[in-house]
Amino acid sequence: MIFLTAGGQLPFDRLAALAMACANALPEESVIYQAGPGGEAWFAQRAAPSNLTVEAFMTASSHRALLDEARWTITHAGMGSILHLLERARPMLIFPRLQRHGEHRSDHQLATAQALHKRYGLAFYTDAEALVSRLGDAPPRGDNSDTRELMERRRQSFGRRLQGVLNDWER
Amino acid sequence: MKTLLVASFGGHLVQLERLADHLSLDERQWVTTRPDAMAQSHETIPDFNKTTLWRALPCAFAIVGLLRRFRCEAAISTGAAPGLLCLLLARLGGARTIWIDSVANVERLSLSGRVASRLCHLTLTQWPELADGRRVTYLGSVL
């Protein structure tokens, strides 16, 4: 199963088109697209293949279940999904919204994707065709224990320093 | 400290949950914007953003109500707009307030973060390059 997620804030037409392209390229595999508010509209005038399911929203728990199950997850640089996937060593590809397509007011999702690539080597794509051709590959087998360890250490250190601020205030 | 933890459903909430795992607080009250967003017990407030500002009013009423029930000494938010409103109202009620800008903001603080840096006791970025040594501080990252 391939899971594509556009987040809970905005629709994302190029990701909708990508979901359609995935479903057509991989007819044997189910493709699930979480489209965001108004994101189903793109499909209204188009014939979606039978292996494609589109939902505007889902509950947090069913969203998490799909992240855990998917062979690949494709996310608009959404941090909730990315943190969850990193923690469970699940395969992901990032497809950020871009300003030049009018998908956001700035390229901050691209900047996030670049920063994630730099820190943890996560793959991101701005070109849908290149991303679809990657999906035929088997996802990397997930031992990312280095990543998880580093992330956990960063969180501990962040927590400790923030706790220090709270303790100072309490005195 | 008796602390309010506020974040919109999705990525904002996931970040605050991860950080809160490493804090020891006397008492904590979670606040988010969708009833199904988390398993732990929490309060839900209406969501809004800068394109739906009129919904800030019902959100403010809900926050005032919950601040009456839960008298916090500190309030921490990772965003977005409802979290900022919550910090402002908590500050008016005498609480210490901390804004943590989302780790997604790599190159520039969010608009809410820039407002928070004028109005909260402490504003944190999760990218050291964005700390300015005055209003915006780096203490670490959940990523």
Give the model confidence (pLDDT) of A35-91 as tens digits: 999 999 999 999 999 999 999 999 999 999 999 999 999 999 999 999 999 999 999
**For chain B, how many structural domains are there in total?**
1
Confidence check: pLDDT of A7 > 90 = yes
> Which pair of structure tokens corresponds to residue B119?
């109005």
Q: Judge if A105 and A145 occupy the same domain.
A: no
The whole domain housing B18 covers 2-138
Range of the domain at A161: 141-171
Same domain, A30 and A84: yes
Instruction: Quote the CA–CA distance of B95 and A106 in Å, as a whole number.
Output: 34
**Is the CB of residue A46 less than 8 Å from the CB of residue A20?**
yes
pLDDT at A142 over 80: no
- Compute the nearest-CA separation of A58 from chain B (Å): 10
Low-confidence ranges of chain B (pLDDT < 50): none
d(CA B117, CA A77): 25
> Phi and psi (nearest 5°) for A100?
-65, -15
Among B10, B19, B7, B143, smallest CA distance to A63 is for B10
Q: Are A23 and A85 members of one domain?
A: yes
Q: Which chain A residues contact residue B39 at CB under 8 A?
A: 61
Do the beta carbons of residue B117 and residue B123 sit within 8 Å? yes
pLDDT, residue A171, reads 87
pLDDT at A139 (0 to 100): 81
* Mutation choice for A interface testing from B1, B14, B32, B47 by most A CBs within 10 A: B14
Q: What is the largest CA-CA distance in chain A?
A: 64
- Asked whether the beta carbons of residue A79 and residue B11 sit closer than 8 angstroms, the reply is yes
Does residue A59 contact residue B36 with C-beta atoms inside 8 Å? yes
Residue B143 lies in a domain: no
Do residues B3 and B28 touch, judged by C-beta distance below 8 A? Answer: yes
Q: Is residue B43 part of a domain?
A: yes
Mean pLDDT, residues A23-38 taken together: 96
Q: How confident is the model at residue A156, as a pLDDT?
A: 98
Instruction: Note whether B103 contacts A: Cβ–Cβ < 8 A.
Output: yes
ipTM of this complex: 0.96
Number of domains in chain A: 2
The domain that holds B73 is classified in CATH as: 3.40.50.2000
CA B67 to each of CA B63, B64, B94: distance values in angstroms, whole numbers, following the listed order: 6, 5, 11
- Residue A45's Cβ-count burial label (10 Å; 0-12, 13-18, 19+) is exposed
Using pLDDT thresholds of 50, 70 and 90, give the confidence band for residue A105: confident
Q: Which residue has the tokens 């799909």?
A: A66
**Using the beta-carbon criterion (under 8 Å), do B98 and A151 form an inter-chain contact?**
no
Check pLDDT > 80 for residue A140: no
Tell me if A60 and B106 make a contact (CB, 8 A cut-off): no
A84·B14 Cβ contact <8 A: yes
Q: Are residues A9 and A59 in the same domain?
A: yes
* B94–chain A nearest CA distance, Å: 13
Regarding whether A157 and A130 lie in a shared domain, the answer is: no
The reply to whether A132 and A147 lie within a common domain is no
The verdict on a CB contact (< 8 Å) between B142 and A154 is: yes
Position A136 scores a pLDDT of: 84
Q: Is residue B72 part of a domain?
A: yes
CATH number at residue A113: 3.40.50.2000
Instruction: Let me know if residue B87 belongs to a domain.
Output: yes
Quote the mean pLDDT of chain A: 95
Same domain, A127 and A165: no
Query: Is residue B51 included in any domain, yes or no?
Result: yes
